[in-house]
Structure 1
Amino acid sequence: MKKVFFTVAFLTTLMVTAQSTWKSDGAHSKVGFGITHLMISEVEGHFSDFDITATATDTFDDADFTVDIKTTSIDTDNDRRDDHLRSADFFDAEKYPSIAFKTTSFEKTGDKTFALNGDLTIHGVTKTVTLEGKVNGIITDQRSGKLKAGLKLTGTINRLEFGVGEESASIGNEVDMTIHLEMAQQ
Structure 2
Amino acid sequence: MKKLNLVIAFGFIILLSAFTIYNTNWKIDDNFNIRFVGTKVEGHFEKFKGKVVFDENELATSKFSLVAEVESIATGNFLKNYHAKSDKWFDAEKYPNISFTSSKFSKTTKGYEVVGLLNIHGVEKEITIPFTFTNAIFKGNFSVNRLDYRIGTMEGMSKKVSNEIKIDFSVPVTRSK
TM range (shorter): 0.7 to 0.9
1:35 match = 38
Superposition map of 1:77-88 within 5 A: 77-88=76-87
The aligned length equals 160
Question: Which residue of the other structure, out of 162, 168, 171, is the alignment partner of 2:161?
Answer: 171
Give the equivalent residue in structure 1 for 2:128: 130
Question: 1:101, 1:185 → 2: CA distance?
Answer: 21
In 1, distance between residues paired with 2:57 and 2:32?
17
Change (3 A) 1:132 1:60: farther
Runs of 4+ in 1 over 6 A off after TM superposition: none
Q: Comparing both structures, which one devotes a greater share of its residues to helix? A: 2
Structure 1 spans left out of the alignment, 5+ residues = 38-42, 138-148
**Structure 2 counterpart of 1:179, which letter?**
F
The Cα of 1:153 is off from its aligned counterpart by: 2.5
Q: What is the 5 A alignment of 1:63-142?
A: 63-110=62-109, 113-137=111-135
- Provide the residue aligned with 1:152 in structure 2: 139
Cα deviation for residue 169 of structure 1 reads 3.3
1:172 counterpart SS class: coil
Distance 2:169 2:120 in 1: 16
Residues 61 and 177 (structure 1 numbering): CA distance in 2 closer, same or farther, change over 3 Å?
farther
Identity %: 31
Map 1:36-51 → 2, pairs under 5 A: 36-37=39-40, 43-51=41-49
| Alpha-carbon RMSD | 2.3
Q: Secondary structure at the match of 2:166?
A: strand
Distance 1:91 1:165 in 2: 8
Distance 2:129 2:57 in 1: 15
What code does the residue aligned with 2:39 have?
T
Q: 5+ residue gaps in structure 2?
A: none
Match of 1:25 in 2: 29
